[in-house]
Structure 1
């Protein structure tokens, strides 16, 4: 019987990375591959499945409907491979792991990674703290956490990069922003990496704004945006349903990328080290609410 390598895991990993990065060159950087190797993986995968997965021109990269359908399966395949590798390569562990994570990551696929870790290492106790990234840095510096996942703080070069994501303006679907008025902002309380980035961007662009709503959580900001109170901001990979970029988003100041990182204590227990490796191998970018994020 002939077995065709239709869903070669290497090609699938490349495909999922390109889909998330929306760039062959950026995917190559993340995977430590040349752009020609990335293109070859995608070409061979498209030939194997007999479908076109991406539409490319000189300025943009988008997914075809077949590409979107395959991406759903690709995530499941990669998660299954990671779980299998973890189960059969890791020793039976005991102990405790103190993990801190920002709320936006906790609302994404992090739960699936933690579930896989728990299933493989049922004797490890998990202690999870969900807080603003600034608070997580404080807890790390105080020795209260083993690991943290969050945004890279400006000027802080510690940590291992997980992924980068451009911040996007979000509001109730169908919103047209009145650009003759100060921008109505919905932001998390200080201190906040995202809040600082947004206000710095607006100040440099010479824009006027008014903070119409503040919240202690990203969930509160999204709820206020769904209610039509104003504009909020979140990474394109991590926002959920019920919000969308304003109809005239192109006329708003372009927001920069933020980098999500993992940061670990200097000395890690074996359970914490094992979880860290799993987190760094996993794709923590949540499926966005619109094509290409």
Structure 2
């Protein structure tokens, strides 16, 4: 007997309710390509075609409509079980860490997800640089943290993978005859290291025109048209644009967002339940 993945079912329901792969991707905090891959995996699990072309979009097949009802029931029972168990636990507040890049991009959707999985739990958010948050997690000052740093040895869940991109102001014009003007964070910074490593590897000349200790400082320099920076695609907005192959800039790797949990033996039950609930809803 095949087991159905709850995370795949949750994305499937989101697509059906949003009637759009793009909107569903935003709802489940994933990229559109990741959502497409999830549905391919779900179709393999149920051994049936779930979607069919309908104009420029896609609609549920007969098998998809049948699965939708079952998926809603399965998820409802799962979520109710999590809520019921959590209701018996202490509602002591838990603290989750988030780097600035996460705090105003993927964190709002994640907090909404937390509140649905464990309603009534008070969550405090501590915003700081990723390396400081991992130190705080190790010292026991926070229970959970979202991080883009790869730190084996901790309990962790992959939340999503996002493309990194060269960003600049929407009206910025890059002069390829001059060294690339870089706007970067103070070290240690994974985006600083990523930018310099890939530019050096590709032989692209560069110069640092602005260094900031904060994300708002980086954004301000971008808006002012000082140069180019590296961030994940979540930071893209109408005031910014992406540079790439056409401008002779090297391709950048995806960035993985993790949810880390402090050591099980020292973490409160509510934080452990929240972590398990997120893992079960993937």
Q: TM-score, normalised by structure 1?
A: 0.68
1:272 alignment partner in structure 2: 271
Contact kept? 1:101, 1:129, Cα under 8 Å: yes
2:227 alignment partner in structure 1: 230
| Equivalence map 1:128-167=2 (5 Å) | 128-153=125-150, 156=152, 158=154, 159-167=156-164
How many Å separate the matches in 2 of 1:222 and 1:110?
A: 18
Aligned pair in 2 of structure 1 residues 146, 257: CA closer, same or farther (>3 Å)? same
Aligned pair in 2 of structure 1 residues 30, 224: CA closer, same or farther (>3 Å)? farther
Matching of residue 42 in structure 1 with residue 42 in structure 2: no
1:4 alignment partner in structure 2: none
How many Å separate the matches in 1 of 2:189 and 2:226?
A: 20
How many Å separate the matches in 2 of 1:178 and 1:261?
A: 36
Aligned pair in 2 of structure 1 residues 22, 117: CA closer, same or farther (>3 Å)? closer
1:243 to 237, 240, 255: 240
Deviations 1:125-168 (A, max 9, x none): 43321111111121122222211101033x74753211111111
1:28 alignment partner in structure 2: 37
User: Tell me, which stretches of 5 or more residues in structure 2 are unaligned?
Assistant: 1-10, 60-73
The Cα of 1:216 is off from its aligned counterpart by 1.8
Aligned pair in 2 of structure 1 residues 234, 278: CA closer, same or farther (>3 Å)? farther
2:99 to 79, 102, 107: 102
1:177 alignment partner in structure 2: 174
How many Å separate the matches in 2 of 1:37 and 1:230?
A: 49
Contact kept? 1:170, 1:234, Cα under 8 Å: yes
Matching of residue 217 in structure 1 with residue 214 in structure 2: yes
Instruction: Give SS of 1:271's match.
Output: helix
How many Å separate the matches in 2 of 1:148 and 1:187?
A: 23
How many Å separate the matches in 1 of 2:239 and 2:160?
A: 24
Give the superposed CA RMSD: 3.9
Deviations 1:230-287 (A, max 9, x none): 101211134334111148754211111111111111223222123324555779xxxx
The Cα of 1:11 is off from its aligned counterpart by 4.8
2:119 alignment partner in structure 1: 121
Contact kept? 1:164, 1:260, Cα under 8 Å: yes
The Cα of 1:193 is off from its aligned counterpart by 1.4
The Cα of 1:103 is off from its aligned counterpart by 1.3
Aligned pair in 2 of structure 1 residues 28, 157: CA closer, same or farther (>3 Å)? farther
How many Å separate the matches in 1 of 2:206 and 2:39?
A: 36
Q: TM-score, normalised by structure 2?
A: 0.71
Structure ranking higher in helix proportion: 2
2:108 alignment partner in structure 1: 111
Aligned pair in 2 of structure 1 residues 231, 136: CA closer, same or farther (>3 Å)? same
How many Å separate the matches in 1 of 2:47 and 2:181?
A: 42
Contact kept? 1:143, 1:265, Cα under 8 Å: yes
Contact kept? 2:30, 2:161, Cα under 8 Å: no
User: Tell me, which stretches of 5 or more residues in structure 1 are unaligned?
Assistant: 1-6, 55-65, 67-80, 284-293
Aligned pair in 2 of structure 1 residues 240, 218: CA closer, same or farther (>3 Å)? farther
Contact kept? 2:43, 2:50, Cα under 8 Å: no
Instruction: Give SS of 1:214's match.
Output: strand
Instruction: Give SS of 2:234's match.
Output: coil
